Amino acid sequence: MPRSRRPPPHIPVRDSKVPTGPVLVFATGAWASFVDGMKAGD
């Protein structure tokens, strides 16, 4: 059975320098907006 390619509902983000530290969780749409803004130079 093929797997769906839908994005997860939430994106966990952690400081890579502190891999055992806390995680910030963003809704997929909010994360996509952030990434789009970074690409656009906002």
For 4-14, what is each residue's pLDDT tens digit?
Answer: 677 678 999 99
Tell me, yes or no, if the pTM score tops 0.75: no
Residue found under tokens 């994106």: 11
Q: Is 13 helix (H, G, I), strand (E, B) or coil?
A: strand
**H helix count then E strand count, the chain:** 1, 2
* pLDDT (mean) for 9-24: 92
Task: Give the pLDDT of residue 42.
Answer: 73
Does the pLDDT value for residue 1 go beyond 70? no
